[in-house]
A = this chain, B = another copy of it.
Amino acid sequence: MFTAINEYIHRFASFSPQEVALFNSLLEHRTVPKKTFLLQEGEVCRFEAFISKGCIRSYYVDEHGAEITLQFAIENWWVSDIASFHENKPSRMFIETLEDCELLILHPDTKESLLRQAPCFERMFRLMVQRNLSRLQERLFQTIATSAEEKYLDFLQRYPTIPQRAPQHQIASFLGFSPEFLSKVRTRLSKK
């Protein structure tokens, strides 16, 4: 149950067996069916969830009711609204499972307890968030600088499993254009 997450944390830093044991002991294991909301707009996010199995989407809803997908999270990724989690404030996001999921969960108090008992995890979380930040910078750049077609092709490379796991209109909302246009881009590409 913990092999994946233990491999994961060792990619960022080294930990003693005791530290790993402490970490594992603080994780809550949870099984969640598909189409379940882990978080809805207005709620405070009380988890950071590591996905051992399954696929989860986080998204915003804009003033016209349109969805904008922030993230497709799959195996070996974390999902949370960190701003809401850390500042204890209502979230603007929805987080919903796309498949049946196996999660390993940290709560605000268990995370604090972990960091108090084993401060070396601060480093791991810092490096994790840093990596996230640079990826998001790249994505913003791409959102502004490239055409819908390029974005879609790049998406297929980067997230090869998502097209089988999420409907197209959600992918369009991740890439930043309308589902109809994604459909047109796809037919255009398949004619080449």
Contacts and interface: CB of A to CB of B under 8 A. Distances in A.
Interface stretch (A27-35, A95-103, A141-149, A162-170): A141-149
B60 A141 contact: yes
A7 interface: no
A145 B82 contact: no
B83 A145 contact: no
B145 A86 contact: no
Contacts of A86: 127, 130
A137 interface: yes
Interface in A49-105: 60, 62-63, 66, 68, 70, 82-83, 86
A184 interface: no
A189 interface: no
- Dominant SS among interface residues on chain A: helix
Chain A interface size range: 20 to 34
Contact of A62 (B66, B131, B139, B145): B145
A140 B132 CA distance: 14
A144 to B, nearest CB: 4
A141 B68 contact: yes
Given A62-B145, A82-B133, A126-B129, 13 more contacts: A62-B146, A63-B145, A68-B145, A70-B137, A83-B131, A119-B122, A119-B123, A122-B122, A133-B133, A133-B136, A136-B136, A143-B176, A144-B176
5 contacts: A62-B141, A63-B145, A82-B134, A133-B133, A133-B136
